[in-house]
Amino acid sequence: MNAEDRIEKKTVKAIHAAKSHLLLPEIVYRGVLKKRYEAHTSKDLSEAQGKDLVRYFNDIKSRSNRAGLTCSLCMPRTKETGTIPGDTVFPVSPEQLIIIEALKEAIEWQHQDGFSRWLLKYFALTEIEYSPQASVVINALKKLLKSQHHCSSCTRSPEKNGGKNGR
């Protein structure tokens, strides 16, 4: 990477500010860097890649703002109640949207609209609106990703399920 292509300090600060605003877990942040840019840290990015990452994070933030979503720290939870009442449902959080986006990118879909097809087929959803929906989708995406990658830590073989992985 040329010296003029190297990421500027202000862009690194903007990346970390956007990451902090989204309350993005470190593991998800590192996954986004690796998947999108084959980088381990923000300092490994070029200036153009850094600006693209800031736009990506800001797009996720603006989508959640347009939908009227609040972050998990802003959710109305009190110490008196301890737990959330059973009839209360929260909108999907920005953190959940980021995790879903990272998992979507990591999975090898057979079709360009593979995620949309999968979401409709297995969950009868066209979009994820609520936190419980997002939690179920995240768990299913993790299992799908795990079944695609034949790692030694997998407890089940994808061949047992026909090897199609719901795609």
Collapsing DSSP states into helix, strand and coil, what is residue 56?
helix
Q: Is 27 exposed, middle or buried (0-12, 13-18, 19+ CB in 10 A)?
A: exposed
Indicate the SS3 state at residue 46: strand
- Written as one letter, the residue type at 82 is G
pLDDT number for residue 158:
42
63: confidence class by pLDDT, cuts 50, 70, 90 = low
pLDDT of residue 161: 43
Q: How many CB atoms lie within 10 A of CB 124?
A: 7
Residues 165 and 161: their CA atoms lie apart, in Å, by 7
For residue 70, pLDDT beyond 70: no
Q: How much is the pTM?
A: 0.48
Tokens encoding 108: 């090898």
Cα–Cα distance measured from residue 101 to residue 99, given in angstroms and rounded to the nearest whole number: 5
Q: How far is CA 86 from CA 70, 77, 123, 137, in A?
A: 19, 13, 21, 20
17-46: pLDDT as tens digits = 888 887 777 877 888 888 889 898 999 999
* Burial per residue of 57-69, b for 16 or more beta-carbon CB atoms within 10 angstroms, e otherwise: beebbeebeeeeb
Smallest CA-to-CA distance from 95 within 25, 18, 41, 34 is with 25
- pLDDT tens readout for residues 74-131: 444 444 445 556 666 788 888 888 889 888 888 889 999 999 999 999 999 999 988 8
Q: How confident is the model at residue 153 (pLDDT cuts 50, 70, 90)?
A: very low
Distance (Å, rounded) from C-alpha 61 to C-alpha 18?
A: 8
Q: Where are the domains of the chain?
A: 1-78
